[in-house]
C-alpha cells in the first residue's frame, strides 16, 4: 500500500469450489430512486438488498491485451464501465445490476453467497428473470497469508508517483487514501469468460468493490481502492511467471513462491505498471507448495 512508500505485488487465490446446494430465485425491483440512485431489490423471501451506486475505476483506464500476439491497449471510461455497479454495505453485497430486459443481477452477497442469472430457463409467469443463488467455499487449507505479497525489483528508471512522495514529508497520515491497483487477470479466468473484455472488467469491478466494503471497517486511515488498469491474458505463453507443478497440469497446480518471484520479474518489464501502488495477480490456478514431500 502507499503507506509503505513502495509498490506491492499481491497474489489472490481466486479459484473457488461451488457448493452443489443452490436455489432458483426471481429478483424483483421494489423501489428505484432517480435522485440518489438507490434501488431496493428483493432477491428472495429472506434477502432484500438496499443498493447504492459504487465507484471502483479511475476516470479513465486501460485494458492491456493482445491481438494475434501483438500488444494492444483499449482506452476505457471508468464511469461507463461502472454505471451498473452497486453495493449494500449492511449485507456486504457487491453486484452488477442491469434493467435492460428485466432485472438481471450478478455478484457477491456476503462472504459465501453468490448470485447470477440462469441461462436457458424460462421466466416466471410475471416476467421475472430466473437466477441461481448459490454458496461457494474455499479450499479448507490453513494459510497465514504472510507470503501473499512481495516487494518489487529495484528499478532505477521508474519514477515514483507524486502521490507516494507525501509520506516522505513527515506529514500526518491522511484521513483517506486511494491505493491505485492494477489487476492482471490470468489465462484460466479469461478463458472461462471467453476473453470478453467487458465481462472481465465487470468481474474485476465486482471483486474490488467487495474488497472496498471490507476496508470500510478501517478508521485511520480509511482505504478506498481504485482500479487503474487491467491485463487480459489471451494465451498461456503470455503468463511466463506461472510455475507449473510437474505431473499436476490437469489440476492446474502451480508453485506458490516460485510463481510470485517470476511475477516480480514480469512486472519489472512492463512500464505501464509503474504508476500503480499495487499490482494484483488474479488467478484461477491452484496455488501450491511442497511440505514434507506432500503437495
Q: What is the pLDDT of residues 78-121, one digit of tens each?
A: 999 999 999 999 999 999 999 988 899 999 999 889 999 998 88
- Position 295 in a domain: no
- Position 293 in a domain: no
Mean pLDDT value across residues 190-212: 96
Residues 6+ apart with CB under 8 A from 11: 148, 149, 256, 259, 260, 263, 280, 281, 283, 287
d(CA 55, CA 206): 10
CA 97 distance to own-chain centroid: 17
- Asked if omega into 4 is within 30° of 0 (cis), the reply is no
Alpha helices in 130-255 (DSSP H): 162-165, 187-192, 197-215
Asked whether the predicted pLDDT for residue 159 surpasses 80, the reply is no
Instruction: Give percent above pLDDT 90 in the chain.
Output: 58
* Contact (CB, 8 A) for 69 and 81: no
- Position 98 in a domain: yes
In this structure, the strands spanning 39-44 and 278-283 are unpaired
- Position 227 in a domain: yes
Q: What is the pLDDT of residues 127-136, one digit of tens each?
A: 899 999 999 8
- Position 120 in a domain: yes
Q: What is the pLDDT of residues 12-52, one digit of tens each?
A: 655 555 565 689 999 999 999 988 899 999 999 999 999 99
CA 291 distance to own-chain centroid: 29
Give the neighbor-by-neighbor strand order of the sheet with 57-67. 70-77, 57-67, 226-232, 180-185, 278-283, 8-13, 149-150
d(CA 290, CA 275): 35
- Position 294 in a domain: no
Residue 1 — pLDDT band, cuts 50, 70, 90? very low
Asked whether the predicted pLDDT for residue 239 surpasses 50, the reply is yes
Domain count within the chain: 1
d(CA 256, CA 253): 9
DSSP label of 171: P
Given this model, what pLDDT does residue 35 score?
Answer: 86
- Position 104 in a domain: yes
Q: Which domain covers residue 144, as residue numbers?
A: 2-288
- Position 220 in a domain: yes
Amino acid at each position: 500500500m502507499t503507506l509503505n512508500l513502495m509498490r506491492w505485488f499481491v497474489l489472490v487465490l481466486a479459484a473457488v469450489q461451488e457448493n452443489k446446494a443452490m436455489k432458483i430465485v426471481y429478483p424483483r425491483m421494489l423501489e428505484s430512486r432517480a435522485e440518489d440512485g438507490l434501488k431496493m431489490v428483493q432477491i428472495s423471501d429472506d434477502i432484500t438488498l438496499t443498493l447504492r451506486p459504487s465507484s471502483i475505476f479511475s476516470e479513465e483506464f486501460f485494458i492491456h491485451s493482445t491481438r494475434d500476439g501483438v500488444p494492444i491497449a483499449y482506452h476505457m471510461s471508468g464511469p461507463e464501465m461502472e454505471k451498473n455497479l452497486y453495493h449494500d454495505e449492511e449485507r456486504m453485497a457487491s453486484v452488477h445490476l442491469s434493467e435492460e430486459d428485466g432485472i438481471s443481477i450478478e455478484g457477491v452477497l456476503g462472504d459465501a453467497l453468490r448470485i447470477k442469472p440462469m441461462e436457458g430457463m424460462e421466466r416466471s409467469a410475471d416476467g421475472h428473470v430466473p437466477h441461481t443463488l448459490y454458496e461457494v467455499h474455499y479450499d479448507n487449507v490453513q494459510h497465514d497469508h504472510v507470503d501473499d505479497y512481495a516487494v518489487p525489483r529495484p528499478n532505477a528508471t521508474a519514477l515514483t508517483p507524486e502521490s507516494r512522495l507525501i509520506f516522505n514529508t513527515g506529514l500526518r497520515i491522511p484521513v483517506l487514501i486511494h491505493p491505485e491497483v492494477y489487476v492482471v487477470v490470468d489465462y484460466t479466468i479469461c478463458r472461462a469468460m471467453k476473453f470478453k473484455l467487458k465481462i472481465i472488467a465487470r468481474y474485476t469491478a465486482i471483486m474490488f468493490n467487495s474488497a472496498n466494503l471490507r476496508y470500510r471497517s478501517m478508521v485511520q486511515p480509511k482505504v478506498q481502492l481504485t482500479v487503474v488498469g487491467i491485463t487480459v491474458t489471451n494465451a498461456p505463453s503470455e503468463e511466463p511467471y506461472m510455475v507449473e507443478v510437474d505431473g499436476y497440469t490437469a489440476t492446474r497446480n502451480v508453485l506458490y513462491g516460485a510463481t510470485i518471484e517470476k511475477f516480480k520479474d514480469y512486472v519489472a518489464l512492463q512500464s505501464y505498471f509503474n504508476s500503480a501502488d499495487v499490482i494484483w495477480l488474479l488467478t484461477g490456478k491452484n496455488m501450491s507448495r511442497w511440505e514434507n514431500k506432500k503437495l
